[in-house]
Chain A
Amino acid sequence: MRVAAAFAAGLLFAVGLGIAGMTDANKVIGFLDVSRGWDPSLGLVMAGAIGVHLPLYRWIVRREQPLYAEAFDLPTRRDITPRLVAGAALFGAGWALAGYCPGPALVSALAGKGTAVLFVLSTTIGMVLWQMLESRGEVPAPATSDG
Chain B
Amino acid sequence: MIHDFTPVSAVVGGALIGLSASLLLLTTGKVAGISGIWGGLVQPMSLMRVPIGGEVSWRIAFLGGLAVGALALLLVSPGVFADPATRSTWAVIGAGLLVGVGTRMGTGCTSGHGVCGLSRFSVRSLVAVLTFMAVGFALATTIGWLAGGVL
Contact = CB atoms under 8 A, between A and B. Distances in A.
B111 A93 contact: no
B70 A49 contact: no
A128 B42 CA distance: 7
B143 to A, nearest CB: 7
A84 to B, nearest CB: 5
Contacts of A111: 70-71, 73-74, 78, 81
B82 interface: yes
Of B117, B118, B136, most buried by chain A (CB within 10 Å of CB) is B136
A23 B64 CA distance: 17
A146 B69 contact: no
Interface string B28-48: 111111111111001100110
Range of interface residues on A (Cβ < 8 Å): 35 or more
Interface string B65-97: 111111111100110111111110101111111
A36 B151 CA distance: 16
A144 to B, nearest CB: 8
| Interface SS of chain A | helix
A88 B129 CA distance: 7
A124 to B, nearest CB: 6
Given A52-B19, A56-B22, A86-B106, A12 B65 contact: yes
A27 B73 CA distance: 17
Interface string A32-71: 1111111111111111111111101100110101111111
7 contacts: A8-B65, A11-B65, A21-B13, A33-B140, A41-B7, A87-B107, A92-B135
Given A37-B4, A146-B107, 12 more contacts: A6-B30, A10-B69, A15-B72, A18-B81, A37-B2, A46-B110, A94-B102, A106-B34, A126-B98, A130-B101, A145-B107, A147-B108
Interface of B: 1-7, 9-39, 42-43, 46-47, 57-59, 61-74, 77-78, 80-87, 89, 91-120, 122-125, 127-129, 131-141, 143-145, 149, 151
Interface of A: 1-27, 29-30, 32-54, 56-57, 60-61, 63, 65-75, 77-80, 83-103, 105-108, 110-116, 118-132, 134-135, 142, 145-147
